Amino acid sequence: MQRPTARATAAFGTGIADSNVTNATNTNGTWSSNGSGSQATNHRRTSLSSFPSSRSPSAMSRHSRRPSRSPNPPMIDTNRTSDPSSTSKTPSSGVSSQHSSLLASRRYNPDAHPQRKLRSQYPRGDVENHVEYILVASFDIDKGPIMEHQFPVAITGDEHMLAELMLPDQAHVRNQDWTIFFLHKDTSQEEEEAELKEERRQRRQRRKDRAAGLLGPDDPDAKEDAADAELDGDSTAEESDESEPEGGEGPPLIYVLNLVNTKQDKTAKRGAVVKAMAICTRHPFLHIYKPLLLLALEEYFKSPHPATLALLYDAVNTMDLSLMPRLSLLERILLQASDNKDLFVEKFEQMIQMRMAEDRGEAPVDVLALAESPERRVDLTRNGTKAHVQAHSQYSVPRDTHEFETRVMYNGIPIPIKVPVAVSPETVGDFSLIKLIQTFSETHAKSPQPFTLHAHLTTSGSSTHPIIVLVNAMLTQKRVIFLGHNRPSGEVAEAVLAACALASGGILRGFTRHAFPYTDLSKIDDLLKVPGFIAGVTNPTFENHPEWWDVLCDLPTGRMKISNKIEPAPLTEGMANFMQQNPAYANLANAASTNLSVPGDPTGDQAFMADVLRSIAARHGEGVIRTKWRDWVEKFTRISAAFEEGVYGASALYIGVEEAEPGNDNISGHGYVWSDDTSRLKEMAGGVSRIEGWRNTRSYFSFKQDLGQLYTFRPLKSLDLHHLHDRLRMTKLTPVASREIYIALSKYTHSYDEICQLLTVAPESHAGLFYIALGLFHKDKDVRTKVVDLLERISEHEAGRHWWKGLSRFEKLAYVRIKRELQGGDLAGKADIGNGDGRGNSGMMVDRRIS
């Protein structure tokens, strides 16, 4: 491949020609992921910037690039064993720790499993790397921050910018510090890749049409398509990517994890040597590389040569993730919302079974058959168990399906790595929402200080909780600064990443692309050009310039400030219409920007924060807190859609569809559900300013775009399952109304994806199947029969069987009683109840004992 002309991008998007940037490895060559040598000229030199492009999102490519793939995996040393009697951190649990799918065969039900073939997230043999670049910078007493090496090639012309980001302020006063920053790719290269991807998609579609007889043999593109078929390779994986668009405002970000170390050295001018090493990757879970960076930077101090970087580059790019299954969007939502460590374990078993078939040299047709036949099982062991250790198994099922366990061999040392299987949008790195919430909640609880009133921010008046102020600021695209004076830069970076995840809830986008986990005073001019930025700084000068920010979050003191220079919220058409339509709630709608006292908690934010703090005090864990915030963001978007429909007559956040049963008002509704009309108007009035502020932001337009794209691939479009389930959960229904809902749920929920969609609106954190199972006690026998059928399908579902286990003993007894009545007592003495996975003759998954 001919190397393109090198074009660098300055720190803030200004293109400059730089033909003099040297590459430390140009003369030595580079190493590919499979260990073979390749010349540096084979790498495309990418133009990157620490600030986003000034082009509008609408002008950027709408095509999202596929995630990077796994290269050829390393050979696994099957002779490496562990002594069961040694001091292992993971206790052996024997059979009891094995998942039931490892112990018992099941009757195959095609609707209990997905129809699409199982694929790997990072297929074996793909050429794209996990880590694209490795950087090393150091501090020179005369020159300041300098870039020592960029491996395998230089990625930008402005080396000084990268060196400054890698060596944060006051780095020399600490032995170690971590920083994270993002680099933005040049849009021209992304557009070229999008065009190529679109051409491949069109060729695949023509081949499908030709196979279906829609195109004749004299089609002028037939020969060209046949010639390109081999170049396209296995397109099924890419088609599965396209089936669920991920959205995007532009080219994918390059995530940079940076480690700074200070070594005391009396021979140095300042008595110390400061060096930093950074890994550049497209993986948002970049925290998995921390142990490798620690070892590599220590090695670089001993041997500061490009070969040291090549060793690290080879190690991380031979990490094998090919046994990590690709989950659909609904499956990812279910996995993230559940704490069950066995959820979707069948997919991991199936991936291993396919790999073992490949290792045995079976024909590709047989391997593909395994991808479509999840009922076939082999004897597998669970990672970390005594059985796995004694069997010296090469492959094992992970202990927790939320994380894929692998290892990286670096310098002869096996480094265990845990990669998240499902990653939410706007989730970057390893942060703690609990830590962020506690930082500002504790100070507020001990000594509350009133906030300066602002309609978008203080939705509960001057005493609004600071975390709600922060989320409101990000939703309404305000400029947010996290200040950590005399704190490590890694601490402010973690706070910025946590704030992005908090406001996103795994649903909204548009935050991380305009986030700067760490920046410094020298970049303030370019920072102020970015609307609605979220930045982390350590320089106290920022606090003295309120014109630079709208909300300042002081980490050392735990205080939050609203700038006195912030622009006031304008009176919008939506707010004026709402107050005109509902004059009785006009004062409540204006309470956020006035000193009027607000009775009660109209928005529900105070009760929500109290619930979150109770969960933190009870040590419920990070996963529970993230789930609560996802629910809060989802509720906010649904209330916003209801507000738009009420005020403007229609909502861009709802796509009207043909009703499943026209004229049946009991199942034709959609949107958020309130217990009564007064509650609806009160909650809308309390949040009207926040909603109107959000409607003109990046995250709103991105969310609207995502809804339009994802709607196409939603399995059940004619019913709003969330609305129907909320009616069962939150309202008092007549027997007739509840009858229609239960029958509709049973009638229209059959396939694997439809049941997944139903489970997403009935998460385990919201009592799971409890409200659906209440239909077992309906007065109408036909309803009870339909609910039994629905629960039977759910119990055989890969994910639904875990929801079934969560039902109470009382509801399971009711289920078995109804089954006995329907089958004339055939189940008597044959169906047991408990927590196992045994089945009666009906094929129903029931438990082995009552407990």
pLDDT digits (tens, 9 = 90+) for 12-26: 333 333 333 334 443
CA pair distance 746, 728, nearest whole angstrom: 14
CA pair distance 168, 654, nearest whole angstrom: 45
- State yes or no: pLDDT of 243 exceeds 60: no
In this structure, how many other beta carbons lie within 10 angstroms of the beta carbon of residue 527?
23
The angle, 0 to 180 degrees and rounded to 10, between the axes of the packed helices 781-796 and 752-760 is 100
Strand pairing partners for 460? 462
Looking at residue 388, its pLDDT comes to 52
State the average pLDDT over residues 725-741: 94
Q: In 520-663, which ranges are continuous DSSP H helix?
A: 524-527, 573-581, 586-590, 605-617, 622-648
8-17, 44-53, 485-494, 652-661: which has the minimum mean pLDDT? Answer: 8-17
The percentage of residues in the chain with a pLDDT greater than 70, rounded to a whole number, is 72
The angle, 0 to 180 degrees and rounded to 10, between the axes of the packed helices 677-694 and 466-475 is 60
- Do 693 and 569 form a contact (C-beta atoms < 8 A)? yes
CA pair distance 319, 279, nearest whole angstrom: 15
Secondary element (H or E) of residue 824: none
Each residue of 50-99: pLDDT tens digit?
777 655 444 443 444 444 444 443 333 333 333 333 333 333 333 333 34
CA pair distance 458, 478, nearest whole angstrom: 13
CA pair distance 717, 342, nearest whole angstrom: 29
3-class DSSP assignment, residue 98: coil
- Do 279 and 137 form a contact (C-beta atoms < 8 A)? no
Q: Which of 467, 471, 459 is nearest to 440 (CA)?
A: 467
In this structure, how many other beta carbons lie within 10 angstroms of the beta carbon of residue 294?
16
State the average pLDDT over residues 501-517: 94
Which segments of 267-388 are extended strands (E)?
A: 272-281
The model's confidence at residue 248, banded by pLDDT at 50, 70 and 90, is: low
Domain chopping of the chain, boundaries: 8-60+130-187+251-317, 429-713, 717-851
454 CA to centre of own chain: 31
User: pLDDT: is 394 or 118 the higher one?
Assistant: 118
The dihedral built from the CA positions of residue 70, 71, 72 and 78, taken in this order, carries a sign that is negative
The percentage of residues in the chain with a pLDDT greater than 90, rounded to a whole number, is 54
CA angle (211 as vertex; 205, 217 as ends), nearest 5: 100
Residue 388 carries which side chain, given as an amino acid letter? H
Strand pairing partners for 560? 553
State the average pLDDT over residues 756-768: 93
The model's confidence at residue 193, banded by pLDDT at 50, 70 and 90, is: low
Torsion angles phi and psi, residue 784, rounded to 5 = -60, -40
2-16, 596-610, 684-698: which has the minimum mean pLDDT? Answer: 2-16
The model's confidence at residue 107, banded by pLDDT at 50, 70 and 90, is: low
Looking at residue 397, its pLDDT comes to 87
Secondary element (H or E) of residue 151: strand 144-151
Q: Could you tell me the two tokens for 837?
A: 């996975």
The model's confidence at residue 665, banded by pLDDT at 50, 70 and 90, is: confident
One DSSP character per residue, 647-665 reads: HHSS-TT------SSTT-T
What does the mean pLDDT of the chain come to? 80
Each residue of 418-465: pLDDT tens digit?
999 999 889 999 999 999 999 999 999 999 999 999 999 999 888 899
Q: Could you tell me the two tokens for 691?
A: 């909603």
